[in-house]
Amino acid sequence: MGHEGAGGEEYLFKIVLIGDSAVGKSNLLSRFARNEFDSNSKATIGVEFQTQVVDIDGKEVKAQIWDTAGQERFRAVTSAYYRGAVGALIVYDITRKTSFDSIKRWLDELTTHCDTAMIKMLVGNKCDLENIRDVSVEEGQSLAEEEGLFFIETSALDATNVQTAFEIVIREIHNNISKKVI
Ligand code: GDP
Ligand code: MG
C-alpha cells in the first residue's frame, strides 16, 4: 500500500479492527478516515473497509482497514475477514470490563487466523468517559506487555489518539516490510 517494492509494485496493507460489539470500532474508523463520529451505531452496519493513505516519514503508505460491520455481534467473524491481514487493532471499552475480559479470546482468534508476525495494538477506547472508567490504564498496559502488544487509550468521540493509534500500526508494518526488502 503505497510502499514501493523492489519491482516498483504497490503493497496494500490490510489491517483489521476486532473487539466486542459497541466498543467503538466503527467510530474509530470513521474518525480516522473521515474525521466523523456517529452516535447512532447502526448507521455503520454494512461498511466493510476503508482505504486510507497515510504519510509516513514523507512516504505515502496505503492501508486498507477492515471493520467487522456488526458480524461480531453473532460471534461470527469469518476467516475471510482475517485473511491477509498484517495488522490488528484489538479494541475494548474502558468503561466496560467484560469487553476487556474478551481481549484474550480475540487474541486467540488472531492466533488461529493470522501470521504471528502481525502487528497488534491493544486499544482502550472511550477514554473521554473517565468518570465511569472500569478498566485502569495499568491493567491495559500490563495485558499489552504480557501479550506483546502496543497499547494506547483513545476516544473516537473527542478524537484523542485515534490518528496516532492507526499511524503506529501502519508505521510498524511499513518498517518491517522495508527491512525485508532491503
Ligand atoms: P462497534 O460496535 O465496536 O463498531 O461500536 P460503535 O462504533 O458502533 O460504537 C458503539 C457506541 O459507542 C455508539 O453509541 C458510539 O456513539 C459510542 N462510542 C464509540 N466510541 C466512543 C468514544 O470514544 N467515546 C464515547 N463516549 N462513546 C463512544
Ligand atoms: Mg461496528
In-domain check, residue 81: yes
52 in a domain, yes or no? yes
Q: How far is the CA of 49 from the centre of ligand 1 (A)?
A: 17
- What are 68-110's pLDDT values in tens digits? 877 777 766 888 899 999 999 999 999 999 999 999 999 999 9
Which amino acid does the sequence have at 65?
I
Is residue 2 domain-resident?
A: no
- Nearest ligand 1 atom to the CA of 21 is 2
Mean pLDDT of 137-142: 98
Name which residue sits closest to atom 18 of ligand 1, judged by CA.
24
The total domain count for the chain is: 1
Is position 160 within any domain? yes
Q: Would residue 3 count as lying in a domain?
A: no
End-to-end CA, the chain: 17
pLDDT reported for residue 80: 87
Q: How far is CA 123 from CA 7, 24, 29, 150, 160, in A?
A: 35, 10, 13, 8, 12
Ligand 2 midpoint to CA 148 (Å): 26
Does ligand 1 lie within 6 Å of residue 21's CB atom? yes
Residue 182 lies in a domain: no
CATH of the domain at 156: 3.40.50.300
Q: Which residue has the least CA distance to atom 15 on ligand 1?
A: 39
pLDDT mean over 142-157? 98
More confident residue, 167 or 48: 167
156 lines ligand 1 (CB under 6 A): yes
CB 39 within 8 A of CB 31: no
Task: Supply the residue whose CA is at minimum distance from atom 11 of ligand 1.
Answer: 22
Helix (H, G, I), strand (E, B) or coil at 180: helix
Residue 19 lies in a domain: yes
ipTM: 0.99
**pTM of the predicted structure, to 2 decimals:** 0.91
- In which domain, by residue range, is 112 found? 12-177
The predicted-structure confidence for 43-69, as pLDDT tens digits, reads as follows 455 557 899 998 888 888 899 999 987
Bridge partner list, 111:
none
- Per-residue pLDDT, 72: 78
Does 159 map to a domain? yes
